[in-house]
Amino acid sequence: MLRPQSERFITYYECVVQAFTSHMFGTTSHTVLMIMAFDRYVAICNPLRYAAIMTNKMVIKLTVSAWGVAFVLVGILLGLTIRLNRCRTLIMNPYCDNASLFKLSCESVFINNVYGLTFTVVLFTASIGSIVLTYTKITVVCLTSKNKSLNSKALTTCSTHLVVYLIMLFSGMSIITLHRFPQFSDYRKLSSILFHIIPASLNPIIYGMQSKEIRFLAKFFGPKKILPS
């Protein structure tokens, strides 16, 4: 980014690898948060069965599923792009992604657009649907329960997860929306960079505030009142 534009070079396959890691990051952000929503649901709605449901075997299955589904979806996405012949060499984005790659081609990208749109709709529908479903059930349990300890635990546990999810969702949707409006290319570039910086930077802060040790350190190093002598 700090080099002059004439000195910014990357080979095509290096660009493909960069696009793959970028899309894997975005896709697994959704799939992993979906698994975390399920974990929250079981912990709050079925606390006595949590140990029986969320066994090590189940955690491994869910983790492999989250990464496996993302790998297949992104692999097909980029596979459809690699097959295209290229007639351009300039990437307008700050980093390589699928849209930037297939825009290098002069061939029809109808299939790429259809699959990309289907991919996005399926991922967002599954992601938003699972969050809405699990949090609706958690809310019903909290409203019908008079257990203050359970409600406090649910609020503390779910609020951080929901904040992280909403930040990631808004960041991702901003990039997808701005890709449809070429006149806002500068805003798209900024959103693309912030998508990889803001959620990753805020995650440890948001989740860390749940830790008693970190809250204790914050109070310890925070401002203190001096009693009058």
pLDDT tens digits, 15-62: 999 999 999 998 998 999 899 889 988 988 888 899 999 999 999 999
pLDDT digits (tens, 9 = 90+) for 124-147: 999 999 999 998 888 888 888 777
Residues 138, 40 contacting (CB under 8 angstroms): yes
Query: pTM score > 0.85 for this model?
Result: no
- CA 173, CA 191: separation in Å to the nearest integer? 10
State residue 40's pLDDT score: 87
pLDDT digits (tens, 9 = 90+) for 197-221: 877 777 777 666 666 666 555 565 5
DSSP 95: S
- CA 111, CA 108: separation in Å to the nearest integer? 8
